[in-house]
Structure 1
Amino acid sequence: MLQYIALLRGINVSGQKIIKMDALKAMFESMPFHHVRTYIQSGNVMFDAAETDAEQLRASIEDMLKQALGYAVPVIVRSLTELEEAIRVCPFEVSQLREGEKVYVTFLAQPPALEAIQKLESYRNEVDDFQVRGKDVYVLCRGNYGRSQFSNTFLEKKLGAAATTRNWDTVLKLAEISRD
């Protein structure tokens, strides 16, 4: 069995696409998954599965959610190993953040094209910083994330990939829960 984290995009945000976590857990338990756990209301599901193809898992989860909910929910799947690597290679020294600074990770469905990353570079500014590493974009937010130029939607459009964003504390907690 491999350990995975499914990150659902756009649920329980501003009263839209409300999914109770106990119902979400039950949906995942109806699949060939084991040891299903959820974390907070933003759509984080940890589970074990025999399947080794994360893309196949993503497609199966999205199909199941569409059937159960009646609408599409984009899903990003990472193995625990991939999540731990994303934590390890964070380009920002999280322990050295100044007051008001926070790190976010935008998880992409696939690595962006080099041209898209180069175009994204033109949006650099003094307010927030970012680094693209494989299928992850790290955003150092020096203000309110809600006002950051590097929002999830902005990064999806500029990089041409489905994405979902989590704050650093949540990323660490997902890895911790997955290890248990």
Structure 2
Amino acid sequence: MTAYIALLRAVNVGGTGKLPMAELKAMCEDEGFLSVKTYIASGNVVFTSKLKEKAVKAALEARLAEYAGKPVGVMVRTAAEMAAVLAANPFPGAPGNRVVAVFLDSAPPKDTVASARHQTTEEIRLGKREIYVRYDDGMASSKLVIPAAKTGTGRNINTVAKLAEMAAAL
């Protein structure tokens, strides 16, 4: 059994994509995932499965599309990968709520930083399948646009740490 973290894109954020976490947990259990736990209402779920990552992603995306009536992006990481994302944080001295890891399905394009628009005090670094962003002045006032992040989903480092901890405990 592999411990996984699934991160849903655009769920319960800004009034879009309403999905009760109890419903997400039930969907995961219906797919045969075990030890299912959700974390905060923004589409984070940890569980174990015998399936490979691509099969987990496909199963969840199919169930969510059926539920929502439209595609819902899902990024999947193993417990070890999530721990590695946390360890690779290029801004370890910054407050966890000011650093975001944007999770992608594949490596970020080499021009990710160069193609960013409206960058002021934010710093951007590339990870393996993540884009790290440090928001010195906070996210709320930022106008930063990172085209490569469009299909990804972001979580602050505090959330990444909690999900890594939860998955490691499975």
Q: Same fold (TM over 0.5)?
A: yes
Q: Rate the CA distance shift 1:126–1:174 in 2: closer, same or farther, 3 A.
A: same
Any residues of structure 2 matched to 1:51-62 within 5 Å, and which?
A: 51-52=51-52, 54-62=53-61
Match of 1:175, SS state, is: helix
Structure 2, unmatched stretches of 5+, are none
- Offset of residue 126 of structure 1: 4.5
| Contact 1:5–1:79 (8 Å) recurs in 2 | yes
Q: Equivalent of 1:102, from 98, 104, 110?
A: 98
**Does residue 1:20 correspond to 2:16, yes or no?**
no
Q: Distance in 1 between matches of 2:125 and 2:118?
A: 10
The within-5 A match list for 1:26-37 is: 26-37=26-37
Between the aligned partners of 2:18 and 2:119, the Cα distance in structure 1 is 35
SS of residue matched to 2:89: coil
Identity %: 32
The residue number in structure 1 matching 2:141 is: 147
C-alpha deviation, 1:69, in angstroms: 2.8
Among 103, 116, 119, the residue aligned to 2:114:
119
**Matched residue SS, 1:145:** coil
Q: Deviations over 1:78-125 (max 9, x none)?
A: 1111111111111112xx337x971111111211232x33633x6585
Structure 1 residue runs without a partner (length 5+):
none
Partners of 1:7 and 1:61 in 2: how far apart? 10
Over 4 Å off, 4+ runs: 122-126
Deviation at 1:58, TM superposition (A): 1.1
Aligned counterparts of 1:91 and 1:123: Cα–Cα separation in 2: 21
CA separation of 1:102 and 1:65: change in aligned 2, threshold 3 A: same
The amino acid of 1:144's aligned partner reads G
Q: Is the 8 A contact 1:130 1:140 kept in 2?
A: yes
CA distance in 1, matches of 2:76, 2:143: 25
Which secondary structure does the structure 2 equivalent of 1:59 belong to? Answer: helix
Q: Is contact 2:118-2:143 (8 Å) kept?
A: no
What is the aligned-residue RMSD (CA, Å)?
A: 2.1
CA distance in 2, matches of 1:8, 1:59: 13
CA separation in 2, counterparts of 1:124 and 1:65? 33
Instruction: Provide the C-alpha distance between the structure 2 equivalents of 1:164 and 1:175, rounded to a whole number of angstroms.
Output: 16
